[in-house]
Amino acid sequence: MSLNFGRTQLAIPGPSVIPDRVLNAMHRPSPNIYHGELVDMVDTIFPDLRTVAQTKHKVAIYIANGHGAWEAALANTLNRGDKILVITTGRFGAGWGEVARSMGLETPILDFGMDADADPQKLEEVLKADTNGDLKAVLTVQVDTASTVRNDIAALRTAIDNANHDALFMVDCIASLACDRYLMDEWGVDVTVAGCQKGLMTPAGMSFVYFNDKAETFRQNTSPSFYWDWQPRTNDEIFYQKFAGTAPTHHLYGLRTALDMLVHEEGIENVWTRHETIARAVWASIDGWGINGAMRHNIRDPKKRSNAVSAINTGPEIAGKIRKWCEEEGGLTLGIGLGLAEMGTPEWDQHFRIGHMGHQNPTMTMAVLGCIESALLAHNIDHGDGGLSAAARILARPASQ
């Protein structure tokens, strides 16, 4: 007999749960795309996107997923043959590097493995050794969605400054924007890329490239294609130039509502604190269950973990059993382990991820954790007691800002 006849929940690291309010905002007839309500509404989106990334600089919107934003950021700043340094702390920095290589860029890699953050000291050494300034840019993720490590972006900026290096600093915040604290201008980031389907709670299909004055200066040497060019998108005289064609009308209504919720109702500081609290509740459960070695967080040091997503390593077969039980019996979809083992090997079933980005509250968190505990019990998997109550205790006392 199955109990799985209720509302299902997605707890993968993107797409995230879409609020009903966002879905309802999208449920409407197509608007006039030449003037009137849509055009006025879109103007209000840009300041809120800036608030989310804590920047006063420009942001271009693309009708694309995160891969599109990766390509757009590179196309506007770099030329075929340029050399850039790609920092990898999991899978996603490497993915951006692959896109760069496909565009004819040379991409030496500074790799920190699958369970550590980027070491600013190492970055400083590499940049100091680049005495001719051959490296035109440094690429990194803030959060790697596979390892679930969070890099210290301010410290990496300091490393670039200490090396007195002129490279453009480009940061992928696709997993972390509106989940983990991010201060683009204060931290001295030149280009930020983000997507709409994770912390911004909108169906996949839009992405964002923020760029400061230094990035605009870099751009003067490049000739991006008509479609990726961020200039008309941000200096538009005619509305359609913002999108190089028809606007993604319904996505924009959805995003408007998501930004109302995040920026105007909750406030971005509260959003970060909520995610911090919910993440700590998830980790408290993992710690509680893991007492007998059943599982542990992939990143040992809590200060280096993302507040958006957690990768969990388990004993043999445990992760596979948990994922399957949650999906089939519980109505909960958990994330697969990415880059921590090869698919089809026994190790594959020793990793899973919990996405806790975006639209999350204590009820949703406890539902995810409760379902995982039921899976552990259903399979008689040896685990520590008290995982759920540990989470409840954290949720009762939110992190202070």
Binding site for ligand PLP (CB under 6 A): 14, 65-67, 92, 141, 145, 172, 174-175, 195, 204
Sign of CA dihedral 237, 243, 244, 246: negative
Measured CA to CA, the distance from residue 113 to residue 90 in angstroms comes to: 6
| Cβ 230 to ligand PLP shortest distance, Å | 18
**Neighbour tally for 401: CB within 10 Å:** 10
What residues does 311 pair with on adjacent strands? 353
For ligand PLP, the closer of residues 174 and 299 by Cβ is: 174
Exposure of 114 in the CB half-sphere (CA atoms within 13 A) = 14
CB-nearer residue toward ligand PLP: 174 or 336: 174
Q: What interhelical angle do 249-259 and 37-53 show, nearest 10?
A: 50
**Residue 259: CB minimum distance to ligand PLP, A:** 19
**Which residue's CB is nearer to ligand PLP, number 163 or number 174?**
174
Min CB(329)–ligand PLP separation in Å: 28
CB of 316 to ligand PLP, least distance (A): 28
Q: How far is CA 298 from the centre of its chain?
A: 17
User: Given the complex with ligand PLP, which of 93 and 387 has the nearer CB atom?
Assistant: 93
The Cα 105–Cα 100 span in angstroms is: 5
Minimum separation from the CB atom of position 95 to ligand PLP (A): 6
CB of 186 to ligand PLP, least distance (A): 21
Closest by Cα among 195, 259, 161 to 13: 195
How far apart, in whole angstroms, are the C-alpha atoms of residue 90 and residue 115?
Answer: 7
Cβ closer to ligand PLP: 66 or 330?
66
* Closer to ligand PLP by Cβ: residue 65 or 310: 65
Give residue number: closest CB to ligand PLP.
66
